[in-house]
Amino acid sequence: MKATQFFRQLWRINGVLIFLVALLAVLVLGCIAIQFLDFGRHAAKQVVRVDQQTQEKAEPPILGAFQTVSGTPFMRAALTFGDEYARSSFSSSAGSYSTRNYLFLNPETLEGRWLFPDNKQLIVDSDELRENLQPKDSDTPKFRTTAFFYKMIDTDTNGDKQLTPEDKLSIAYSRPDGREYTTVLKGVDRILGSASIDNGRKHVVVYEIEKKWCTAVISLSTFEIERKGELPTR
């Protein structure tokens, strides 16, 4: 009789322990889920304030690590800012960042030059465009960067006194050393894709503007649009 009561008490204790462990596991998973969702809301976003008052509160810029530009002697590093901005635009505890310039360096001459004379624009993205230099008798691919392709925001098109990804884009190019920066297209809503053609001598961009899907072929030797078109809609 006493043994039966003992095992009953033991099972009750085990049941309570199992319940507490399960409850603790649920709480831990709940905390992880809340933190994950909170991270998504508070993730850093690219933004540049255009009013002088907020610019004065900006944190010091950070120069990133230099990366070699493929097939050239040049190197490039991004200049990134962390900003304080209007809390009504994003979550109250969010941080923000913005790439606003690039510093190009020729390690052979130690000459450096900035892509822009100031840091008032927002560089959303930048890609190397390369041409194929592979010899006919070689199986080893060899590439050289001929230009940089930039997705830029340089105008506050929605009137919120900020340059953010919500503003319209500009499409621009530069040489591998940062020279000859050229804006090719402005007022772009979205870039839908891009590709190099003609062995890397030309660049095709597919983009959306004013609810139209358009294409443009840009010569990488002149940074001029050679051909434009519009894709059919359904």
Examine residue 97 and state whether it is found in any structural domain, yes or no.
Answer: yes
Return the closest-CA partner of residue 54 out of 93, 13, 96, 15: 96
Specify whether 54 is located in the same domain as 23.
Answer: no
Specify whether 70 is located in the same domain as 12.
Answer: no
Specify whether 76 is located in the same domain as 152.
Answer: yes
Specify whether 21 is located in the same domain as 110.
Answer: no
> Which structural domain range is residue 37 located in?
1-41
What is the pLDDT tens value at each position of the chain, 234 positions in all?
555 555 566 556 666 567 666 667 666 666 555 554 444 444 445 666 665 444 445 578 999 999 999 999 999 999 999 854 433 333 333 446 789 999 999 999 999 999 999 999 999 999 999 988 776 666 676 789 999 999 999 999 999 988 988 999 999 999 999 999 999 999 999 999 999 999 889 999 999 999 999 999 999 999 999 999 999 987
Examine residue 150 and state whether it is found in any structural domain, yes or no.
Answer: yes
Question: What pLDDT is attached to residue 95?
Answer: 47
Specify whether 18 is located in the same domain as 70.
Answer: no
Examine residue 216 and state whether it is found in any structural domain, yes or no.
Answer: no
Q: Residue-wise over 80-109: b if at least 16 C-beta within 10 A, else e?
A: bbebebeeebbeeeebbebbbbbbbbeeee
Specify whether 107 is located in the same domain as 24.
Answer: no
H helix or E strand, kind and range, residue 8: helix 2-41
Specify whether 161 is located in the same domain as 113.
Answer: yes
Tell me the CA end-to-end span of the chain in Å, nearest whole number: 82
Instruction: Specify the DSSP class assigned to residue 47.
Output: -
Examine residue 233 and state whether it is found in any structural domain, yes or no.
Answer: no
Specify whether 70 is located in the same domain as 136.
Answer: yes
Question: What pLDDT is attached to residue 69?
Answer: 96
Coil/strand/helix, residue 30: helix
Number of domains in the chain: 2
Instruction: Specify the DSSP class assigned to residue 233.
Output: -
Question: What pLDDT is attached to residue 28?
Answer: 60
> Which residues have C-beta within 8 Å of that of residue 150, sequence separation ≥ 6?
123, 125, 126, 170, 171, 172, 173, 174, 181
